[in-house]
Each structure stands twice: as C-alpha cells, then as structure tokens.
C-alpha cells in the first residue's frame, strides 16, 4: 500500500492488474450513474413524405399532445399510447406505442401507408446528471452493436455476391486502409530517410524542408489529394500514407543519426564496405528503434483514416461515425469509437510481437 504513491516505486503485475480492473469498474459505475434512465420517455417522429402530417398522442389517463412535422417529445410518462396520424383533416392511420423506462433499449419502427412514411423511435429519458443526447447510457451503446451487426452490406466478387454484417464490413475496410497506408509510408520513409541521412548532398538539400513539412495541416490538403487521385480507395491510401510519411521520415533520419560512432569505427576497422555498413550497422539499429515509433504513429493514423473516410463516405468506420453523427445517434458513435480502440490495442499487441521476433535482444 505504501508504494502506491511513492515516486519511483514499482508494483507487482498482480497489483497493477487489480488496480486496472478496479478502475474499469469505477468508470463504468460512474457512467451508469450519471446516465441512469428516469421514469419518463422520449418519442421521436421523422416524416419521409412530402405531405405535411399532423399527429395526436394520447392515452387513457387523459394525456394528449398535438404536433406536426418532424418532432421530438420529451418527458412523456410511461405507459401505452395511441398515436393518430392525419393528413389534413383525414385520419390516415393509428398506432399503439409504448413508453418504457429503466434500462430499456430504444425501440424503432417505420409506419407506411400509401404515400405516408413515418419513422418512430421511443426511448427512456435520463434520470442522471447528463442527458442522453450528450452522453448515452451503456445499455444504448451495447444495443447499437446489435443493430450494426444486424444491418447487412452486399459484397460482390466477379460473379459471387454475398452479404456480411455492416460493422464487420466497415471495420475490415478501415483496417485494410490502415495497413495499405502504413505499408506504403514505411517503405518510402525508410528509402528516402536512408538517402537523406547518409548522402551529404541530399541531407543538406532536404533536411530543413522535411522538418518544415510536418507543420502542414493534413486536413487542409484533402482537396489536393482529391484533385490528384480522385475520391476512391487509392486516394485515401495516398492521403493516409502522406500523413504518416511526414512524421515518420524525420524520425528515420534521426534514428540513423543516433548510431554510435563506436560501431561505425569498428565496422571500418574490419574493412566493411558501404553496403555492409548499411546492412549490418545502420539497418539493425534503425529497425530496432523505428518499431516503437510506428506503434505511436498507429494511434495518430486513425485520425487521418476517419478524415479520409468521410470523403465520398461509402465504406469504413468513418462512414459509420459520419452517418451516426448526422442522425444524432451518439450511442453508435461511442460504439464505433470503442471498436477503433479495440483495433488499436490489437495493432499495438501485434507490433510488440513483431518487435520481439525481429529484435529479441531488446527484451533480454
């Protein structure tokens, strides 16, 4: 216990695991408390027809509300209600809906009648400190995973057509985009970095410009990449690769400059050629260091992925966030963000495993 707040102290792995689990439980408890559902509900109606519709919501206890157009009603007491939809003075249809409180999932339904299409959504209001429009309850976030898995996307390969879960499809697209952009950026950064760091002419010519390019706001140059590469998958790969390249290239040059002169002098004494110097001295040193830098940039790259996927938003987790934000579905936004965090943790674990295989001396 005395080591918990002692500067420089080291804790056992079991103690660290216990603290992590306790912190997670505490965070979830606070989240549940501040978003706890109350005893009233919300009804949201969205009309997809060109006609102006009028609505009446009433129950047997005397509750009655009249409204029109796209409307959201808050603080509706729990119970069974009769919703009357009118076009002008004519009653088109009636529907019974339920307002349920507690940890209930949002209920959605679409009502169709001739030229009328109305989307209904009912959910409980928050009793806690924070409203659900600002911070959704964990139960809503979990329910959104069910909805995202249930939705389907059609994939076609030549003559084969199949349907897969929307969440799996878009997550796979983002992971493929991440991998493609990283592979391109790492390859170019290593080649250009070695040239700049080892050839005095290119080092004098380009080193200052390489440092300056880091200050370019990447979100502001998306228009240039659209003009150069279009709006399809290739442009997004190039944009992501550029975003990683401008940060990774100076790091490669720095890592090459950090090679201890003792190793270089030893190699020269043994009669090593320029190629052998690169292969047996510079390359192992850079690879052992650069993997840690790549792990850090992996987290930053997800920002660029989301920015790229909102352009011509047809696929990817960025599309899911963009669509959820437009529909004010913060539960889906949180659900997708947790997926990105999970993928990032898996990527970090994968890079650690690769580092242990490629550079076992670092862990001895």
- Total domains in the fold of the chain: 2
Using one digit for the tens of pLDDT, what is the confidence trace for 40-63? 677 777 777 777 778 888 887 777
Q: Can you give the pLDDT at residue 2?
A: 65
Assess if residue 2 is contained within a domain.
Answer: no
Q: Cα(305)–Cα(315) distance, rounded to whole angstroms?
A: 11
Same domain, 203 and 292: yes
Answer yes or no: do 106 and 205 share one domain: no
Q: What is the CATH number of the domain that holds 112?
A: 2.60.40
DSSP 65-90: EEEESSEEEEEEESEEEEEEEEETTE
Q: Do 236 and 184 contact (CB within 8 A), yes or no?
A: no
The pLDDT of 223-245, averaged and rounded, is 82
Do 171 and 120 share a domain, yes or no? no
Check whether residue 225 and residue 346 sit in a common domain. yes
Segment 162-221, tens digit of pLDDT: 777 778 888 888 888 888 888 888 888 888 888 888 888 888 887 777 777 778 777 777
pLDDT at residue 143, as a whole number = 79
Please report whether residue 246 resides in a domain.
Answer: yes
According to the model, what pLDDT value does residue 156 have? 66
Please, are residues 182 and 245 in contact by the beta-carbon 8 Å criterion? no
User: Both 288 and 190 in a single domain?
Assistant: yes
Low-confidence winner among 85-94, 119-128, 258-267 (lowest mean pLDDT): 119-128
Residue 151 lies in a domain: no
State the Cα–Cα distance between residues 38 and 127, nearest whole angstrom. Answer: 4
In a domain, 213, yes or no: yes
CA angle (187 as vertex; 168, 230 as ends), nearest 5: 60
Q: What is the mean pLDDT of the chain?
A: 77
Give the C-alpha separation, 136 to 147, whole Å: 16
* pLDDT at 206 (0 to 100): 79
Establish if 138 belongs to a structural domain: no
Residue 29 lies in a domain: no
187 and 320 fall within a common domain: yes
Enumerate long-range contacts of 204-213, CB under 8 Å, 24 or more apart: 207/253, 210/249, 210/250, 210/253, 211/250, 213/246
Is 330 in contact with 324 (CB distance < 8 Å)? yes
Q: Are residues 246 and 330 in the same domain?
A: yes
Same domain, 113 and 192: no
Which residue's structure tokens are 């890592």?
A: 255
Residue range of the domain that includes 81: 40-125
- State yes or no: pLDDT of 23 exceeds 70: yes
In a domain, 145, yes or no: no
Task: Confirm whether 107 is domain-assigned.
Answer: yes
Percentage of the residues of the chain whose pLDDT score is greater than 90: 0
| pLDDT reading at 124 higher than 70 | no
**Residue 111: alpha-carbon gap to chain centroid:** 33
């Amino acid at each position: 216990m005395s080591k918990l707040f002692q500067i420089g102290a080291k804790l056992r792995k079991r103690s660290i695991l216990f603290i992590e689990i306790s912190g997670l439980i505490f965070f979830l408890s606070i989240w549940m408390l501040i978003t706890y559902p109350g005893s009233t509900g919300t009804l949201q109606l969205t009309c997809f027809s060109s006609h102006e519709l009028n609505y009446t919501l009433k129950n047997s206890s005397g509750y009655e509300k009249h409204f029109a157009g796209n409307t959201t009603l808050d603080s509706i007491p729990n119970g069974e209600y009769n919703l009357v939809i009118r076009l002008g003075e004519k009653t088109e249809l009636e529907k019974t809906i339920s307002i349920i409180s507690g940890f209930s999932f949002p209920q959605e339904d679409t009502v169709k009648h001739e030229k009328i299409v109305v989307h209904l959504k009912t959910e409980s209001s928050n009793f806690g400190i924070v409203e659900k429009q600002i911070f959704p309850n964990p139960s809503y976030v979990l329910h959104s995973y069910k909805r995202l898995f249930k939705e389907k996307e059609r994939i076609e390969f030549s003559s084969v057509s199949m349907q897969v879960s929307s969440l799996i499809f878009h997550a796979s697209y983002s992971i493929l985009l991440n991998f493609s952009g990283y592979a391109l950026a790492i390859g170019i950064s290593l080649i250009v970095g070695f040239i700049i760091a080892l050839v005095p002419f290119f080092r004098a010519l380009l080193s200052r410009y390489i440092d300056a390019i880091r200050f370019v706001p990447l979100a502001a140059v998306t228009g240039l990449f659209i003009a150069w590469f279009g709006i399809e998958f290739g442009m997004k790969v190039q944009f992501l690769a550029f975003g990683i390249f401008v940060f990774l290239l100076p790091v490669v040059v720095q890592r090459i400059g950090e090679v201890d002169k003792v190793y270089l002098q030893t190699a020269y004494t043994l009669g090593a050629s320029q190629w052998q110097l690169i292969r047996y001295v510079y390359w192992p040193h850079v690879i052992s260091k650069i993997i840690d830098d790549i792990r850090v940039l992996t987290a930053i790259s997800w920002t660029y992925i989301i920015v790229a996927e909102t352009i011509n938003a047809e696929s990817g987790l960025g599309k899911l966030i963009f669509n959820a934000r437009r529909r004010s579905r913060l539960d889906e936004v949180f659900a997708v963000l947790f997926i990105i965090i999970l993928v990032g943790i898996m990527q970090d674990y994968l890079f650690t495993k690769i580092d242990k295989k490629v550079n076992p001396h670092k862990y001895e």
